[in-house]
């Protein structure tokens, strides 16, 4: 028998597939009746998981496909439409633990679109309905991924707050909503008096940075982590104890109104301006748009910027601005005709884990990876997702055979969000981290206090990087010769592999023993009668020119674990020769800002390793000597103020700060009009929004590194 997960994953029915099914005893109509009933049961079940339990087991696109199929069948067979069909309702019934509150005007859901063609058809449909060819004035806004609520104000004071519920009745969560500081208990009156009655609609949400902290707190207290900020916001609003809600970092953006008594409006934009004047938070990214093409352009811009926002959005909303036209257009069964949700490609999907394997990285880090049935996430088909480390696999209890929810944020590798436990196979077994390296057979180690398991063998062939085949030695040579290390031009992957396979290079110091004659046989075809030696001579010249690098380039070239370009530049502020660095105490190293305890220990381990000592001696014997630091002119960053928000991929926050201060810059914790740059990483906080508001220049990580590089 199929589980609900497997049933929901079947291909949608069409008239053809139903006809094929009906070739036996069933008639076509009986097959349709059966399928409609099956779809209703599935949709009711998933509505219950989503709205009541705040614990969905399928992704939004999968749910949308089920609902779309049911809508199509009911359109073809209208006699099957019943009042309790999901197409005639907006959501699931309210929770029993709260009293219910009727909405004077229904809080309808929106029709979804997933392509430009569907959006343009929406515009054409409105024009046909109104028999006009004139362009519409629209209002476009981010589609917040939170929990919809209604706030009722009588004579300017908040009297009732409720969730959307089933669209007609919601849960009375007034006391919980009053704990949210961004919701005014009393409307501002300094510009215009409040109306006698005002129903404000908005979206309660949690910022990504706050969501991360909330989950860290829950895990520390032995509680389950929330799957995403939307579920965290919904769960927080449905607490019987308002004190629990008060401890959650909830916020709200208001986007419209229901019934209004004592004030009239003509345009939706006018409504938003009034809400702002009355003290409600309205998203600053909401804009007017003249015509549907302007709305589509807004979608492109928003999709490009979405991963830099401090909160999650899953698309945009397009609304006809004129309230008179909204009234003429009216509503359909479950959505207004005058509004449309234009969704982004889904960043979450569900699939099955086929197996869990481990990969060995360049530094020896051993990372568990989920190998999955291919699924489309964020517009890209993925079949692998990171499980980060042994502790993370245990916390989420991911097993081979499990159905899981995976997500892809930005351009990063997908990760497993949660396991769908109700669909777990009976024979699924907990994952066990291997004791020996799957590549070279060396016993794996996990240093005390670290989450990462490592292969300690420096010659492990698993340390080959993501795009370089051939093992550890070729990968180390490539790094040694790279632009940000010794900068040896002409040493590409193919040439390095030839050198190693011919046994010309056994470690990086052997590069300086190579001759043009040896390289000629590698750079030119054997059957060539006359060998020019042009490329061979070019490589030899580049090797000789690399003998006098700057200190930081030589340090970076050595490939010390946890020490890259940024850390090498920091060390260059304190040391001038390798010998000085090698003799420095661990205490001295860890006190350097941007180095810290773990990097200090790694540096000491490197210089105490006998094999590494031999390589450094051979480099010295070959004439490799770092040149004295040049007297640096005043940095163009001197006196500039920087603020960092969000996580950086290649640098720690301490490293980035040290790079700024080493060049005379300043690092501040808050954004003001005096801030020169805001460096924006992954999942930025409210500082990013503040920078946009003040017009402060923002830099992504790559732009920040380029600015540092240009400044010397």
Q: What is the CATH number of the domain that holds 450?
A: 2.40.50.140
The count of structural domains within the chain is: 5
Of 195, 153, 154, 158, give the one whose Cα is nearest residue 180: 158
Q: What is the CATH number of the domain that holds 69?
A: 1.10.287.610
In angstroms, the CA 244 to CA 241 distance is 6
Are 603 and 560 within 8 A, CB to CB?
yes
Are 475 and 361 within 8 A, CB to CB?
no
> What integer pLDDT is reported at residue 464 of this predicted model?
47
Question: What are the pLDDT digits (tens) for 95-131?
Answer: 557 889 999 999 998 998 988 999 999 999 999 999 9
Exactly one of 4, 68, 124, 143 is catalytic; which is it? 143
Residue 109 shares a structural domain with residue 79: no
Residue 445 shares a structural domain with residue 570: no
With respect to residue 626, please indicate whether it lies within any of the assigned structural domains: no
Residue 16 shares a structural domain with residue 140: no
Residue 177 shares a structural domain with residue 316: yes
Residues of the chain with pLDDT under 50: 1-25, 52, 89-90, 92, 410-411, 464-470, 529
Of the candidates 88, 119, 147, which is a domain's last residue? Answer: 88
Residue 173 shares a structural domain with residue 35: no
In angstroms, the CA 292 to CA 478 distance is 51
Q: In what helix (H) or strand (E) does residue 147 lie, and over which residues does it extend?
A: strand 147-154
In angstroms, the CA 187 to CA 184 distance is 6
Domain membership of residue 76 as a residue range: 4-88
Which runs of E-coded beta strand occur in 378-500? 380-386, 403-407, 415-419, 453-454
Residue 332 shares a structural domain with residue 359: no
Q: Are strands 666-668 and 100-102 parallel, antiparallel or unpaired?
A: unpaired
143 is catalytic: yes
Q: What are phi and psi for residue 338, nearest 5 degrees?
A: -90, 5
Q: What is the CATH number of the domain that holds 654?
A: 3.40.50.10190
Residue 70 shares a structural domain with residue 150: no
With respect to residue 94, please indicate whether it lies within any of the assigned structural domains: no
Crossing angle (nearest 10°) for helices 472-481 and 493-501: 130
Question: What are the pLDDT digits (tens) for 117-126?
Answer: 999 999 999 9
Residue 124 shares a structural domain with residue 74: no
């Amino acid at each position: 028998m199929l589980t609900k997960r497997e049933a929901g994953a079947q291909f949608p029915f069409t008239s053809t597939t139903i006809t094929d099914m009906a070739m036996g005893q069933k008639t076509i109509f009986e097959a349709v009746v059966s399928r409609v009933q099956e779809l209703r049961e599935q949709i009711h079940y998933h509505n219950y998981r989503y709205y009541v339990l705040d614990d969905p087991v399928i992704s939004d696109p999968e749910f949308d496909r089920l609902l779309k199929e049911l809508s199509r069948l009911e359109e073809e067979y209208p006699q099957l439409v019943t009042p309790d069909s999901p197409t005639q309702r907006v959501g699931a019934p309210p929770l029993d633990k709260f009293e219910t509150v009727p909405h004077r005007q229904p809080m309808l859901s929106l029709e979804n679109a997933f392509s430009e063609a569907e959006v343009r058809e929406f515009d054409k449909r409105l024009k046909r309905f109104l028999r006009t060819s004139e362009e519409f004035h629209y209002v476009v806004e981010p589609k917040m991924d939170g929990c919809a609520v209604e706030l009722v104000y009588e004579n300017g004071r908040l009297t009732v707050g409720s969730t959307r519920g089933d669209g007609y009745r919601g849960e009375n969560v007034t006391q919980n909503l009053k704990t949210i500081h961004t919701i005014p208990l009393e409307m501002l009156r300094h510009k215009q008096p409040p109306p006698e009655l005002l129903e404000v609609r908005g979206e309660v949400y949690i910022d990504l940075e706050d969501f991360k902290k909330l989950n860290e707190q829950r895990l520390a207290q032995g509680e389950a982590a929330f799957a995403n900020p939307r579920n965290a916001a919904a769960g927080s609003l449905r607490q019987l104890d308002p004190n629990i809600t008060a401890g959650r970092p909830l916020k709200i953006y208001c986007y419209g109104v229901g019934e209004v008594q004592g004030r009239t409006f003509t345009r939706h934009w006018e409504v938003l301006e009034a809400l702002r004047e009355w003290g409600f938070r309205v998203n600053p990214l909401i804009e007017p748009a003249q015509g549907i093409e302007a709305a589509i352009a807004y979608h492109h811009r928003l999709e490009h910027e979405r991963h830099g926002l401090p909160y999650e959005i899953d698309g945009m909303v397009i609304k006809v601005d004129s309230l008179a036209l909204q009234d003429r257009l009216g509503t359909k069964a479950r959505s207004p005709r005058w509004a449309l949700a234009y969704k982004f490609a889904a960043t979450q999907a569900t699939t099955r884990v086929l197996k869990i394997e481990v990969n060995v990285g360049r530094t020896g880090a051993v990372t568990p990876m989920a190998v999955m049935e291919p699924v489309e996430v964020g517009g890209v088909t993925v079949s692998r997702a990171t499980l980060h480390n042994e502790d993370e696999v245990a916390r989420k209890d991911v097993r081979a055979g499990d159905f899981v929810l995976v997500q892809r944020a930005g351009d990063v590798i997908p990760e497993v969000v949660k396991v769908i436990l109700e669909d777990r196979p009976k024979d699924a077994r907990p994952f066990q981290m291997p004791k020996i390296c799957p590549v070279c057979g060396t016993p794996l180690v996990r240093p005390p206090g670290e989450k990462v398991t490592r292969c300690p063998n420096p010659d492990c062939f698993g340390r080959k990087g993501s795009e370089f085949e051939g093992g550890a030695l070729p990968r180390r040579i490539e790094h040694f010769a790279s632009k940000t290390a010794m900068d040896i031009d002409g040493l590409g992957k193919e040439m390095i592999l030839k050198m190693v396979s011919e046994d010309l290079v056994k470690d990086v110091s052997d590069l300086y023993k190579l001759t043009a004659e040896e390289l000629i046989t590698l750079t030119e075809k054997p059957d060539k009668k006359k060998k020019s030696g042009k490329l061979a001579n070019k490589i030899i010249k580049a090797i000789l020119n690399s003998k006098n690098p700057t200190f930081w380039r030589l340090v970076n070239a050595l490939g010390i674990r946890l020490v890259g370009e940024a850390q090498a530049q920091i060390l260059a502020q304190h040391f001038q020769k390798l010998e000085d660095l090698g003799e420095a105490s661990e205490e001295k190293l860890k006190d350097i800002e941007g180095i810290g305890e773990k990097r200090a220990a790694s540096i000491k381990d490197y210089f105490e390793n006998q094999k590494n000592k031999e390589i450094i001696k051979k480099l010295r014997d070959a004439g490799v000597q770092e040149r004295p630091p040049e007297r640096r002119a005043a940095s163009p960053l001197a006196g500039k103020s920087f603020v960092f928000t969000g996580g950086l991929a290649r640098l720690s926050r301490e490293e980035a700060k040290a790079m700024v201060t080493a060049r005379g810059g300043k690092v501040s914790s808050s954004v003001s009009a005096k801030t020169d740059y805001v460096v924006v990483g992954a999942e930025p906080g409210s500082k990013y929004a503040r920078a946009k508001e003040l017009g402060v220049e923002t830099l992504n990580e790559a732009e920040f590194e380029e600015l540092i590089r240009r400044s010397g």
